[in-house]
């Protein structure tokens, strides 16, 4: 150690200066050895210790002393060997050997031989002088000085060097052992103290991450953009035509469409104490790029949601729809009988006029009335009017007398019709004759064309009526060029004649002669009204024979007789009654309430009695109530509204009608299925109605939605933030708790739901539900506030490195608010799982959610599974079917599992049998909860849902009591359903998985930190324990010395 180097532990035990002080303390002065103490005197001389001069002694005692010294040396060497064998100081001895060169130890026997008279202190002398012996620590210095002075002085036998080194080592070991034990104990204590502190920091970090501390944090968490996570599958009907015409079972194929979804929270605000946050939410869907063409141009054939929605919400049944449009149909009949038919009758009556004139031939000597009419005078007086002495009935008889006709006839020989032309037009057997049924309509058609076409030439173009008439008359004259002037001259004569009062009076008299009520007629419109009430005008015009209805007249696009007398032959209305009927029942405010009274019988009998007097002017009597009601609500809509406005024209091969693309079936683009369209029937039910498709009302951007809301809070939500948990950890139970959803906290009646104002007064409530609870949404008040969505409560127990892989959330059953179902739904914890390295708990929707309410026993099941609690959700259509009409504005929507499949024995084979699934292989099953149910994976420490999926099938409920006309009969005959068809429309799949970076955050900040804490604890215990164990032998050795 003279060079200052030493083992690091030695510094703790013996200071460097103290070691150095032990050097150069022994000097030889003649025969005496002087030992100096540490400090020097003022002159720098060492101060001698009180050691007397050593005297020589006899050899015998010296020999004994040498033997004793040798034995002592050997004993100490043996102790050192034992210590080395135990390995306690091996490393220390090795390090010392490496640290300094060994000092040559003097041979004790050799030293004794060289000193013939060795000097020793006897025990008595030691006791007398008080000298300190042995001087083992000074061995090294004494040896060096003895070597230099051995020739001049007798060597002094010193204590064995080995014995001196062992003592020093034992001191070092004792000191190091104490230090090791102290450090080990400290480390073990830290192993108990530090990890719990770190564990607390970790779980509090979790709480900090869960709690909503600021608006900025909330908006960052609540605003998200996820891509490709929303998939819709549309059921495309492939055989709509065969279904309607031949009763084929409906067959579907699937069209899958995937969307990018975006949602952003905005206008967020905290309440005064920061415990609640309120916000609005904007969302939008965009089809993925690779499906843009399919989205824009792809065609889907399906039932028409707007038609079915209107039937339910605006009428309650198809017959009520017809009642609703009855006034529209009557209004159209009013136009037919009071406007269109009079103009037709004016021309149709020409047949009767000419027939009457033909009887006048004898009066004038049997002249040819046809050629006289054509302008070729058969009397010496010229016209019949002059020849008769101005008989008013004969005024204007000849074509040449009509204003403007003479100029047209100037192109013909004699400025008259050619005789052959005139005779042809008087021949009842000729197809173009004015006296034939078809001929008179040909001339009426030409009159209509000339009155409406911008160019006269259009009416004489090829394949037009005018062209055929020109050809026939040109051929009759033997000159094609004479055809058109003749036709135009006849047209001019018809226009003048039909407006003549004389002509009207003659026709009136002619009809009254066969039908007395015609005597009251004052205008051509009266003829039309009387035709509606009796059907006799057309008959009278034909001399009391066919036709009895305007529908029998050739050329009119009427498929059924519109006269009430044709519907019920026992009814015959007077002129005034006919006009009152058309006037009163064309008024919506009259027709619909009265038909509503009829629909409510027998409960509305008193109201019915009152209506009889109000509507007496229409000819309504108690005996005619049923006929009036059926004529208005069924006969007219079925025969005029449906073919005239719903399905005019032929059916396309795909089963739709291209003229309107409306009615029960419609063909739409994929885009229209999702975003809506304007149906041509919609204005009939509600002029303001807008259909937004499967997506509902969706705004292009946030600002558009903000403008549209204008203070309406139907898209406003609120949640608990969890702030204040530091002082009360129980507050964490409420994190994510709903305080507001779509602007409400609870609801009982439908009127209280967003966008469903005045729902309690809708027709469907009266005509479909027909119960005392028509205004209820669910049977009990449903409270939304206090429920949670998929954000759960974090783990509130003690979290340690030893239990964090085993902790579970507190409840096996979690209740989640599902907005799409407008009800809370239970999710059961079924097993532990792992998602992206995160330990999770797999929760699946309790199938009891979709069990019927026990009111529908199934004879096909050995054991009945039901859920009486579902009575409040009106689940009376059997298992797996959840009616939604009461919370979806009356639309006949029902949710179900995909393809009506279910676990165990819940699959609805009865519903599946209604359809042909051959084009959908996956519909065969089996039931797979991962793709056909709703589930979530919850990380139990943070309570976060890190993975989840939802699947549901959107169906339309087609009730026979609602769709009760011949136009819906095929739904039941084709499917084999008795009273209810659950019609598949679309499937909805949604899956959300935690992002990789968020999963890494959980693994690093929670799992990683807890794993590190565990390793630190183990390291502290191991190192501390080793140090304590290593210190024990050193302490034992120290105690022995």
Confidence of residue 114 (pLDDT cuts 50, 70, 90): very low
CB 987 within 8 A of CB 233: yes
Q: Which of 609, 637, 640 is nearest to 625 (CA)?
A: 609
Beta strands in 23-77 (DSSP E): 26-29, 32-40, 46-48
CB 641 within 8 A of CB 328: yes
* 124-138, 277-291, 294-308, 708-722: least confident range: 124-138
For residue 15, the SS3 value is coil
Give per-residue pLDDT as tens, 33-81.
Answer: 444 444 444 444 444 444 344 344 444 454 555 555 555 555 555 555 5
**Burial code of 380-390, b = ≥16 C-beta within 10 A, e = fewer?**
eeebbbebbee
Residues 915, 920: Cα–Cα separation, whole Å: 11
CB 35 within 8 A of CB 132: no
Instruction: Kindly give, in sequence order, each residue whose CB lies less than 8 Å from that of residue 1018, ignoring residues fewer than 6 positions away.
Output: none
Confidence of residue 222 (pLDDT cuts 50, 70, 90): low
Phi-psi region of 742 (alpha: psi -120 to 50; beta: other; left: phi over 0): left
Question: Is 962 exposed, middle or buried (CB count within 10 Å of its CB: 0-12, 13-18, 19+)?
Answer: buried
Question: Is 410 exposed, middle or buried (CB count within 10 Å of its CB: 0-12, 13-18, 19+)?
Answer: exposed
**Average pLDDT of the segment spanning 992-1021:** 84
Residue 141 has pLDDT above 60, yes or no: no
SS (H, E, C) 791-848: CCCCCCCCCCCCCCCCCCCCCCEEEEEECCCCEEEEEEEEEEEEECCEEEEEEEECHH
CB 223 within 8 A of CB 264: yes
Confidence (pLDDT) at 550: 87
Confidence (pLDDT) at 763: 60
Residues 311, 308: Cα–Cα separation, whole Å: 5
Residue 487 has pLDDT above 80, yes or no: yes
Confidence of residue 707 (pLDDT cuts 50, 70, 90): confident
Confidence (pLDDT) at 1040: 66
Between residues 123 and 724, which one has the greater pLDDT? 724
Phi-psi region of 828 (alpha: psi -120 to 50; beta: other; left: phi over 0): beta
Confidence (pLDDT) at 41: 45
Distances (CA, A) of 975 to 135, 302, 920, 958, 965: 119, 15, 17, 11, 16
Return phi, psi of residue 990, to 5°.
-135, 130
Confidence (pLDDT) at 137: 44
Beta bridge partners, 990, equal: 230, 950
For residue 728, the SS3 value is coil
Confidence (pLDDT) at 935: 93
**Average pLDDT of the segment spanning 145-150:** 57
Confidence (pLDDT) at 30: 46
CB 682 within 8 A of CB 265: no
Residues 759, 750: Cα–Cα separation, whole Å: 6
Residue 152 has pLDDT above 70, yes or no: no
Distances (CA, A) of 280 to 138, 183, 214, 267, 707: 91, 60, 16, 6, 13
**Average pLDDT of the segment spanning 921-948:** 90
Residues 985, 968: Cα–Cα separation, whole Å: 17
Residues 55, 125: Cα–Cα separation, whole Å: 11
Beta bridge partners, 831, equal: 842
CA angle, 421 then 422 then 425, to 5° = 90
Give per-residue pLDDT as tens, 91-105.
Answer: 444 444 444 444 444
SS (H, E, C) 575-619: HHHHHHHHHHCCCHHHHHHHHHHHHCCCCCHHHHHHHHHHCHHHC
Between residues 774 and 6, which one has the greater pLDDT? 774
Residue 1008 has pLDDT above 80, yes or no: yes
Tell me the angle at which helices 483-498 and 341-358 cross, rounded to the nearest 10 degrees: 100
Confidence (pLDDT) at 136: 41
CA angle, 895 then 901 then 907, to 5° = 105
Residue 875 has pLDDT above 90, yes or no: yes
Give per-residue pLDDT as tens, 331-377.
Answer: 999 999 999 889 888 998 998 899 889 998 888 888 999 999 999 98
CB 758 within 8 A of CB 751: yes
Please name the helix (run of DSSP H) or strand (run of DSSP E) that holds residue 371, with its range, or none: helix 369-373
Give per-residue pLDDT as tens, 237-257.
Answer: 999 999 999 999 999 999 999
Q: Which of 809, 821, 883, 876 is nearest to 846 (CA)?
A: 821
Q: Which of 476, 452, 479, 481 is nearest to 464 (CA)?
A: 452
Give per-residue pLDDT as tens, 791-816.
Answer: 778 888 888 888 888 888 878 888 99
**Average pLDDT of the segment spanning 82-93:** 46
Q: Which of 373, 341, 337, 339 is nearest to 354 (CA)?
A: 373
| Other beta carbons within 10 Å of 890 | 22
| Other beta carbons within 10 Å of 337 | 26
pTM over 0.85: no
Between residues 299 and 929, which one has the greater pLDDT? 299
Confidence (pLDDT) at 767: 59
Which two three-digit tokens encode residue 821?
Answer: 């179902």
CB 451 within 8 A of CB 457: no
* 745-754, 855-864, 883-892: least confident range: 855-864
Residue 974 has pLDDT above 90, yes or no: yes
Residues 477, 472: Cα–Cα separation, whole Å: 9
* 365-369, 513-517, 542-546, 773-777: least confident range: 542-546
- DSSP 8-state code for residue 684: H
**Average pLDDT of the segment spanning 657-672:** 92
Provide the mean pLDDT of the chain: 80
């Amino acid at each position: 150690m003279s060079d200052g180097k030493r083992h690091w532990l030695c510094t703790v035990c013996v200071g460097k200066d103290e070691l150095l002080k032990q050097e150069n303390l022994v000097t030889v002065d003649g025969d005496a050895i002087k030992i100096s103490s540490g400090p020097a005197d003022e002159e720098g001389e060492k101060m001698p210790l009180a050691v007397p001069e050593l005297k020589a002694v006899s050899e015998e005692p010296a020999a004994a002393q040498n033997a004793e010294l040798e034995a002592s040396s050997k004993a100490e060497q043996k102790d050192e060997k034992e210590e080395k064998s135990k390995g306690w100081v091996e490393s220390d001895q090795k390090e010392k050997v490496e640290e300094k060169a060994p000092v040559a130890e003097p041979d004790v026997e050799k030293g004794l031989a060289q000193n013939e008279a060795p000097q020793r202190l006897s025990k008595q002398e030691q006791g007398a002088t008080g000298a300190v012996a042995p001087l083992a620590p000074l061995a090294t210095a004494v040896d060096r000085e003895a070597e230099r002075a051995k020739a001049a002085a007798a060597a002094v036998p010193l204590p064995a060097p080995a014995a001196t080194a062992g003592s020093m080592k034992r001191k070092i070991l004792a000191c190091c052992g104490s230090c090791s034990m102290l450090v080990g104990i400290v480390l073990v204590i830290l192993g108990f103290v530090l990890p719990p502190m770190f564990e607390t920091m970790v779980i509090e970090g979790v709480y900090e991450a869960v709690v909503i501390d600021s608006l900025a944090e909330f908006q960052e968490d609540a605003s998200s953009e996820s891509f490709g996570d929303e998939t819709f599958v549309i059921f495309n009907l492939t055989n709509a035509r065969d279904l309607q015409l031949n009763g084929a079972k409906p067959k579907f194929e699937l069209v899958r469409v995937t969307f990018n979804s975006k949602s952003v929270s905005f206008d967020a605000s905290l309440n005064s104490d920061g415990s609640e946050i309120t916000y609005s939410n904007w969302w939008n869907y965009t089809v993925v790029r690779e499906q843009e063409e399919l989205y824009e141009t792809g065609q889907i054939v399906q039932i028409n949601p707007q038609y079915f929605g209107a039937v339910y919400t605006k009428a309650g049944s198809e017959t009520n729809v017809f009642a609703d449009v009855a006034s529209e149909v009557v209004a159209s009949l009013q136009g037919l009988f009071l406007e269109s038919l009079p103009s037709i009758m004016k021309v149709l009556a020409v047949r009767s006029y000419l027939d009457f004139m033909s009887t006048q031939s004898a009066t004038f000597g049997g002249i040819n009335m046809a050629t006289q009419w054509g302008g070729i005078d058969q009397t010496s007086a010229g016209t019949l009017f002059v020849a008769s002495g101005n008989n008013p009935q004969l005024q204007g008889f000849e074509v040449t007398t009509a204003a403007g006709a003479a100029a047209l006839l100037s192109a013909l020989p004699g400025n008259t019709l050619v005789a052959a032309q005139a005779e042809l037009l008087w021949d009842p057997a000729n197809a173009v004759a004015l006296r034939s049924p078809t001929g008179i309509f040909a001339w009426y058609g030409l009159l209509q064309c000339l009155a409406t076409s911008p160019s006269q030439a259009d009416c004489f173009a090829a394949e037009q009526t005018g062209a055929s008439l020109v050809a026939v008359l040109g051929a009759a004259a033997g000159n094609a060029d004479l055809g058109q002037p003749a036709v135009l001259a006849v047209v001019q004569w018809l226009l003048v004649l039909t407006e003549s009062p004389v002509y009207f009076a003659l026709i009136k008299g002619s009809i009254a002669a066969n039908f007395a009520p015609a005597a009251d007629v004052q205008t051509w419109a009266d003829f039309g009204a009387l035709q509606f009430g009796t059907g006799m005008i057309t008959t009278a015009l034909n001399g009391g024979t066919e036709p009895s209805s305007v529908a029998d007249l050739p050329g009119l696009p009427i498929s059924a007789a519109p006269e009430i007398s044709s519907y019920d032959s026992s009814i015959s209305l007077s002129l005034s009654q006919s006009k009152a009927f058309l006037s009163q029942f064309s008024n919506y405010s009259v027709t619909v309430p009265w038909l509503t009274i009829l629909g409510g019988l027998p409960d509305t009998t008193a109201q019915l009695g009152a209506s009889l007097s109000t509507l007496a002017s229409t000819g309504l009597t108690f005996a005619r109530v049923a006929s009036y009601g059926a004529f208005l609500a069924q006969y007219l809509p079925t025969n005029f509204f449906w073919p005239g406005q719903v399905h005019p024209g032929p059916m396309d091969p795909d089963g739709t009608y291209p003229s309107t693309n409306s009615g029960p079936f419609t063909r739409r683009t994929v885009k229209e299925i999702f975003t809506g369209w304007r149906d041509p029937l919609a204005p009939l039910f509600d002029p303001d109605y807008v259909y937004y498709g499967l997506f509902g009302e969706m705004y292009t951007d946030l600002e558009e939605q903000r403008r549209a809301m204008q203070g309406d809070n139907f898209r406003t939500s609120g949640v608990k933030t969890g702030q204040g948990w530091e002082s009360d950890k129980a507050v964490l139970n409420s994190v994510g708790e709903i305080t507001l959803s779509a602007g409400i906290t609870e609801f009982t009646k439908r009127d209280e739901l967003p966008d469903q104002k005045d729902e309690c007064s809708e027709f469907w409530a009266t005509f479909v539900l027909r119960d005392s609870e028509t205004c209820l949404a669910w049977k009990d008040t449903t409270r939304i506030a206090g429920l949670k969505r998929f954000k759960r409560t974090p783990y509130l127990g003690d979290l340690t490195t030893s239990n964090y892989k085993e902790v579970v959330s507190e409840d096996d059953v979690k209740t989640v608010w599902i907005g799409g179902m407008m009800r809370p739904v239970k999710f059961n914890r079924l097993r532990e799982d792992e998602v992206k390295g995160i330990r999770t708990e797999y929760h699946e929707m309790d199938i009891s959610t979709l069990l019927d309410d026990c009111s529908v026993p199934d004879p096909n099941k050995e054991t009945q599974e039901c859920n009486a609690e579902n009575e409040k959700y009106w689940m009376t259509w059997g298992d797996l079917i959840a009616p939604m009409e009461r919370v979806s504005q009356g639309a006949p929507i029902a949710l179900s599992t995909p393809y009506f499949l279910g676990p165990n024995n819940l699959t609805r084979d009865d519903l599946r049998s209604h359809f042909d699934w051959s084009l959908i292989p996956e519909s065969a099953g089996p039931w797979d909860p991962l793709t056909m149910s709703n589930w979530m994976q919850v990380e139990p420490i943070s309570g976060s849902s890190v993975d989840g999926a939802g699947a549901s099938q959107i169906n339309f409920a087609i009730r026979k009591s609602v769709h009760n006309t011949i136009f819906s009969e095929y739904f039941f005959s084709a499917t084999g359903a008795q009273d209810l068809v659950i019609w598949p429309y679309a499937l909805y799949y949604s899956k959300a998985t935690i992002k990789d970076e968020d999963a890494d955050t959980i693994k690093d900040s929670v799992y990683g930190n807890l794993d590190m804490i565990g390793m630190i604890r183990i390291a502290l215990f191991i190192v501390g324990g080793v140090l304590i164990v290593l210190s024990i032998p050193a302490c034992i050795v120290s105690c022995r010395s």
